[in-house]
Amino acid sequence: IISDSGGDISIQAKTGEHSIVAKDDGAVDLYYDNSKKFETTAYGALVTGSVIASTLTDTSNSGNVQLDFSTYQNFILTFTGNVTITNPSSTEKVGQSGFITIIQDGTGSRTLAVGDQYFGVDGDVPEISTAANSIDVIPYVIIAAEKILLGSAQKAFSDAS
Q: What is the pLDDT of residues 7-66, one digit of tens each?
A: 899 999 888 899 999 999 899 999 999 999 999 999 999 999 988 899 999 999 999 999
Confidence at residue 119, expressed as pLDDT on a 0 to 100 scale:
97
Q: Coil, strand, or helix at residue 68?
A: coil
Compute the distance between CA of residue 79 and CA of residue 113 in angstroms, rounded to an integer: 12
Confidence at residue 7, expressed as pLDDT on a 0 to 100 scale:
85
pTM: 0.81
Confidence at residue 160, expressed as pLDDT on a 0 to 100 scale:
59
Mean pLDDT to the nearest integer, 101-124: 96
Confidence at residue 60, expressed as pLDDT on a 0 to 100 scale:
97
| 121 φ/ψ angles, rounded to the nearest 5 degrees | -60, 130
Q: What is the tens place of the pLDDT at every residue in 66-81?
A: 999 999 999 999 999 9
Confidence at residue 93, expressed as pLDDT on a 0 to 100 scale:
92
> If we measure between CA atoms, which residue out of 15, 11, 16 comes closest to residue 28?
11
CB 149 within 8 A of CB 140: yes
Q: Coil, strand, or helix at residue 95?
A: coil
- Average pLDDT score over the chain: 94
